[in-house]
Structure 1
Amino acid sequence: MSDNILVAVRVRPLIAREEADTPPIHWQVGSDNTIIQVEPGTGKILPTSYKFDRVFGSEYSTCDVYAEVAEPIVESALAGFNGTVFAYGQTSSGKTYTMMGDKRNPGIIPLAIKNIFRSIENTPNREYLIRASYMEIYNENISDLLAGRETRGKSLSVREDPTGAVYVADLNEECVNCEEKLLALMRRGEKNRHTGVTNMNERSSRSHTIFRLILESRERGEEQGAEEAVTVSHLNLVDLAGSENASQSGATGERLKEGGFINKSLFMLGRVISQLSEGEPFVNYRDSKLTRILQLSLGGNAKTAVVCTVTPAAVEQTNSSLRFASRAKAIKNKPVVNEVVSDACLLKRYAKEIMDLRRHLEQERNTDKAQEVEQGSAAGPLTFIVWTRDSVAKPQALRLITTGAID
């Protein structure tokens, strides 16, 4: 089974800085989930346009975006599929607002947390174990946002287990059993994230972050116990730092260095997206920590959604983001349910399959017998007639010997 990456575009409203400068509007939402470039002032439609799975105008809330884009991914993760939702866009385009939200308007991550525990409450026949981690990639170094003060900022390494699965070594994973605790972990990690002030944004994200939930579940029941299969899925909720132009952001010194690393990792992400969309046999996942960690989410075993955030007041920056999103739309993933199955559970499954096959064969035999009996009773007894040639008197004539019937 293959599954295209779901790509949505969110056009944010103008912010105070843009309204003060009275910028021209270069983009508008068209019909049938398109976004179209227009001529400022006249509104004349220009040839440049893009079509996506969903395009949200500025009138839509984050709850609307979540319901149509992220909620199906979260529900699939609860069913055992790996899932990833990430926000992509230029700096100050609304990525962090979309993923985190504010006190009045929760973002995709808090909405996903609420969704998970609401679904668990509505699924009494399964029991769940939830583990959470929160990492950031800052200046191409991975650090744990949930680590204590003594180890905070320690650079972590990306490794690969014998099965080929990629993981971050020494990353803390905390078990949670309620919505409040998971939200508290999210807020704790967000406080430790690198942010800074630029001309483009008062609180600019200077790192990529990945909020990861590992969801384990199995059928509830005393008799099943260890013999029951366990589904294990990873849900990645990713807030990417935005690419930026130093002349526009006014970045100097440390901010300029950060922007260089951000642009480099996003360039590598864009190259991986291009290679996958064009079907190239070799993909450069290892050229960036970000693409290495998200390897399964891009062309692998996961259901993935991209929310591309744009501003209608920019031309080249928005056009660049839309080109990226358009390429991502062509990528096909291969999601499957992830199960950890014990030997006892396998034997139990095989025995059930054999019983089902036997039952099916028996039903077919009984059906065939019933059809034979029905056809025989409807036709009545079989009649036979025996003729012979009278070769002496009339060689060409036939003579009746006997008739009879078979009951």
Structure 2
Amino acid sequence: MKNPLARIPEFGQSIWLDYIKRSFTQGGELKKLIDEDGLRGVTSNPAIFEEAIAHSSDYDDTIAELNQQNLSAEEVFLKIAIEDVQTAADLFKGVYESTDALDGYVSLEVSPSLALDTQGSIDEARSSWKTLDRKNVMIKIPGTEPGLPAIKELISDGINVNVTLLFSLERYRAVAETYVDGLEQRAARGEAIDHVASVASFFLSRIDTVVDPLLDKIISENGDDHTIASQLKGKIAIASARDAYAIYKEVFGSERFKALEAKGAKPQRLLWASTGVKNKDYSPLMYIEALIGPDTVNTVPKETLEIYRESGSPADRLENGIGEARHELYLLENKLGIDLNAITKKLEEEGIQKFIKPFESLMKVISDKREQIKAE
């Protein structure tokens, strides 16, 4: 009998893992997850690579070898990351083929310093795509305002894109429409669009991490809004995700998209990101259980994956209570006066910094390792 993790695809959702490390990809552990748990993809980011390089000897030989070349720390990192992503992508080749290019992707991020640089993002994405030389990879581009034209250009190029750092419904809608724009531009040139893939990564736990303390303050004041605030605690991220899914169905069920679908286009699936629960009072599986549903992806941390395998209970719950979700968002803003748009804008700005800091730390880790290896 299949374990709970392996059963999630029965409900139309793909599980991707938010983790990468050389010994993990090369030592058989990743292949086991693909074969036994139905894992369908992998995402990476600078924080994951920092952890892998700083706290293991997996990369020492490669760094020693690259020390012979006159490379910057960033160039060394890119070579390491590309090699890991290529290895993982090769393991997922069977998934990519058996799902007709729906799954089997491994994501690599552009440098976090380019989050607000349209042309810089395009240039680095094109370069990485060419070097990776795999159909089943995605380039991660932050869904910032300057990221939108980069996403359109890359989709038009036929480059697969994982759009990251999405917190607001307004920005998510803009990203979905930008993906359609890119496909239309490509199709207008008479180029194939049936192999172009994209996901829109909607970040969850950070929303509740900011909103919950504001609700706690209202609860502690014990005024007229005490009950409403108590009812909304821990629910706003999931409510936002359900509303985002309604937008997804609207954009990709439109006549405009159906014209592209007739030429083989795939919808840009919603991907639930930041699904590791930050509040210890909540179930570690709350962002997985509530959001299982058709045509979605959930990218989970390794420890959450292991918990789900042991105690998950998969069922199609995503569209349960979409009306209730919208009512919760209405109450938050109109009854409690909490401006979710302002919160998500701040989260986007902080999100950029949260990728830049580990990237800078990663550069220092690589530089220190290089010096240590030289000394030895």
Select the structure that is richer in strand: 1
Select the structure that is richer in helix: 2
Structure showing greater Rg: 1
Q: Same fold (TM over 0.5)?
A: no
TM-score (norm 1): 0.27
TM-score (norm 2): 0.29
